[in-house]
Amino acid sequence: MSESSQQFASDNYAGICPEAWAAMAEANQGHDRAYGDDQWTARAADHFRELFETDCEVFFAFNGTAANSLALAALCQSYHSVICSETAHVETDECGAPEFFSNGSKLLLAPTENGKLTASAIREIALKRQDIHYPKPRVVTLTQATEVGTVYRPAEVRAISATCRELGLNLHMDGARFSNACAFLDCAPADLTWKAGVDVLCFGGTKNGMAVGEAILFFNKALAEDFDYRCKQAGQLASKMRYLSAPWVGLLQGDAWLKYARHANQCARLLVELVRDVPGVSLMFPVEANGVFLQLSETAIVALRAKGWRFYTFIGAGGARFMCSWDTEEERVRELAADIRLAMATG
């Protein structure tokens, strides 16, 4: 297996898709205005407004950690708290950035069902304490698709947002894999976001086929006040912004974002179909987006790694995560499946 062989460790092992690459090359002609005053940034923002069928405020950041942290910081004061799932990226993979950029807003962890928060878990946490000694709950953050590859249905998001409204909470969505969720549900982006009560969405571009970049969409425009200053202060205002925004034009204008998300999801489904009858293998979560979580034997995990396969096992003993991406080749999925079958037979 060569160093550049396709892997399933993360969807960000993949490179840049042709549409994003071509748009970057097109943007790389002549001079243009800096700091987001350019034509590409305006076009990208308009594409988002068209796609989401609403006049939202659009910002761009270099990565998801920054997008999530700054968006959450915009939604609360330092004495507030943010309700998230115990498996949320903001909790487990952002090195305390949400707390840092909000000057200390505490994350309150809720138990999940298949990686999803529920209205009742949110209610329980929000109402647990209402005294001055406890950080006041102000925001709920959902991950769509979730960290374990499941997808909130529009009705689930609506139920959560109804609870948020009742309790005076803002609703944020970490959409690092929002495209994969839309592809799975075959659902209009609006129905999964503002029409379902989401105030702010961080829309992931990196895992969808871009080099870098996430878009932050404020459907509740009042919450976007001074957000440009927040981005700048955090080092997230690209001076040559057109190189962050042009790839979005490439992804959005011909629906490449959806085509690639569908492809990645299909590859995940293929993988699970190919291994579901392997003795000893069990599926940890329903495969809805582009990730497959398998319970394997420890010896099989060692054998697969020895063969050169890279994958994460952060999900607990024997649990292995396999992520498919925009460019995953079907042949490579078949090779992985065959090696899983072999490793489980000899383990």
Ligand X SMILES: *Cc1c(COP(=O)(O)O)cnc(C)c1O
Q: Which residues bind ligand X (CB under 6 A)?
A: 63-65, 68, 89, 143, 147, 174, 176, 206-207
Contact 312, 320 (CB under 8 A): yes
The backbone torsions φ and ψ at residue 135, rounded to the nearest 5 degrees and listed phi first, read -65, 130
Q: In the bound complex, what is the minimum distance in angstroms from residue 116's beta carbon to ligand X?
A: 13
Relative to beta strand 200-204, strand 214-218 is antiparallel
Between 176 and 185, CB nearer to ligand X:
176
Instruction: List, in sequence order, every beta strand (DSSP E) within the chain.
Output: 57-61, 80-85, 106-110, 136-143, 170-175, 200-204, 214-218, 282-283, 291-295, 319-323
Between 95 and 283, CB nearer to ligand X:
95
Residue with the two structure tokens 């702010």? 200
Q: In the bound complex, what is the minimum distance in angstroms from residue 174's beta carbon to ligand X?
A: 5
Nearest 5°: the CA angle 82, 216, 22 is 145
Between 135 and 149, CB nearer to ligand X:
149
Q: In the bound complex, what is the minimum distance in angstroms from residue 65's beta carbon to ligand X?
A: 3
Q: Which residue is nearest to ligand X (CB)?
A: 64
**DSSP labels, 159-210:** HHHHHHHHHT-EEEEEETTHHHHHHHHT--HHHHTGGGT-SEEEEE-GGGT-
Q: In the bound complex, what is the minimum distance in angstroms from residue 94's beta carbon to ligand X?
A: 7
Between 28 and 233, CB nearer to ligand X:
233
Q: In the bound complex, what is the minimum distance in angstroms from residue 243's beta carbon to ligand X?
A: 17
Between 182 and 278, CB nearer to ligand X:
182
Contact 70, 61 (CB under 8 A): yes
Q: In the bound complex, what is the minimum distance in angstroms from residue 62's beta carbon to ligand X?
A: 8
Between 192 and 303, CB nearer to ligand X:
192
